[in-house]
Chains A and B, each alone.
Chain A
């Protein structure tokens, strides 16, 4: 490529055009270009530029975070491996959805700065505007066998800029809290909701941490307690953030339960409901599920955001996987069946009549391609995710190998696709 011309008249180009093409650059390039000049440094740090860049990033470069699990084996002295030790760690790695769809077989390197343990965190509360809210918990200072209390904390992390906050939002309580992160769309304030089920009182403890107030506040309990409330600040968070609300699946019942291996007895579809917490008003709404959802599925259904739509999906009999879209969020009449994918179409080679499989085969629709034609689908029976183009009925298998970049002897790494979530790269500051 010929060297740039020294006589080029870029000075004639108005600033708004510079902003246009700069806002299309990846974060890494922009951080490097802060060195170019004072005015470029000022522009790149400007909150309006950051907002414009985020907007472009969302539409041009949707990403996801792949969570990988590392187990390092330390051989002990015993012949029988009884004193072998294991160190478990996780990485959270952003990756482009387009790149994945273009080339679904690749090797990913888990760079050091994606590791969770060294951040002293063990879970993810959620992600918003390019920021990931991490969570951690440990025995509190006053923890005893008889009085088990834990300390919970949060850390805000931008994997693209590599900035990470100190621990904040700390609280001490007996265990069982699940944490969920979101944003109040009307004010742009980030919030974290901590919740747990209290079996003794048949109710739930729900509290909110608002980033502008910097304190935890108790709010009303869930009107219907969500099933499978995730406890202990895990990588799997139970609520789905959408458009300023956090949403959980729940079942109206006298006693909440956990859906382990079999759907509870005496269950009807009418009992299912979506509990939605508006992060602005901190008020709950409840939404019913599509009319077409007429049979209790063998495995717990899920809610998820696909493309720009809030979706509800489940396994149907032993033959299909169905996804509904709530075209207009909050309007129950707007539920529209999006996809009905037959297992046969997915070219799965399993004996679906087997009882073991019936109650364990679990699908999770992860992401949609930009044009909406290709679905990235997780299946519990497959090691890797499946790409399904529903227009062409084309199935493509994937192969993602992950290695830690720092060579560890004997580390085994696996992808946890069921923890993968949508992500967008941004310059958003963690302050």
Chain B
């Protein structure tokens, strides 16, 4: 009897609705990996459709797949498919949905992509304005001259 019950609860399905209206049916245990969703379920037990207003269907699909397949091998290959824009949106999604494993995987990926880049490249990617005075910047470049060796050409 108890066995049947646990089987029933683990195969309970939940619907997640992305910001662009796309619907995803996921198993409860998958949805629970998203701590934000878990909190939602804790608050309203009978809920069947949970709105995810900050995440596009395209990215929610990727997030759900990640949760299903995550392991060391999958994680290593996972990040290679996405460009910086996707990584940014996935990172925002992982942060909003509160999925620590995915957040860590994405942070590692972003760090790896910028590790060997120049400050100019980094400013462009993250849309950051250079508010150093020319003297300040020159001073820093001189002090850490050696840190600029071997950097990828932009």
Contact = CB atoms under 8 A, between A and B. Distances in A.
Interface string B62-97: 000000000000000000000111001001100100
B140 A35 contact: yes
Interface of A is mostly: helix
Nearest to A8: B85
Interface residues of B, number: 39
A37 B123 contact: yes
B95 A5 contact: no
Contacts of B126: 8, 10, 18
Interface of B is mostly: helix
A26 B127 CA distance: 22
A36 B124 CA distance: 10
A25 B91 contact: no
Interface stretch (B5-13, B15-23, B34-42, B106-114): B106-114
Contacts of A35: 119, 132, 137, 140-141
B36 to A, nearest CB: 15
Contacts, number: 93
A13 B114 CA distance: 16
B47 interface: no
Contacts of B128: 10, 36-37, 40
Interface string A1-42: 111111011111110011011101110110111111111110
Size category of the A interface is 35 or more
Contacts of A39: 131
Contacts of A40: 128
Contact of A25 (B83, B84, B106, B111): B111
A33 B132 CA distance: 12
Nearest 5 A/B pairs, CB to CB: A21-B107, A24-B111, A4-B125, A35-B119, A32-B147
Given A13-B92, A32-B148, A36-B122, 15 more contacts: A4-B125, A6-B124, A9-B88, A10-B127, A13-B91, A17-B95, A18-B126, A21-B108, A21-B110, A29-B114, A33-B119, A33-B122, A35-B137, A36-B128, A162-B146
Interface of B: 83-85, 88, 91-92, 95, 103, 106-108, 110-111, 114-116, 118-119, 121-132, 136-137, 140-141, 144, 146-148, 151
Interface of A: 1-6, 8-14, 17-18, 20-22, 24-26, 28-29, 31-41, 113, 162
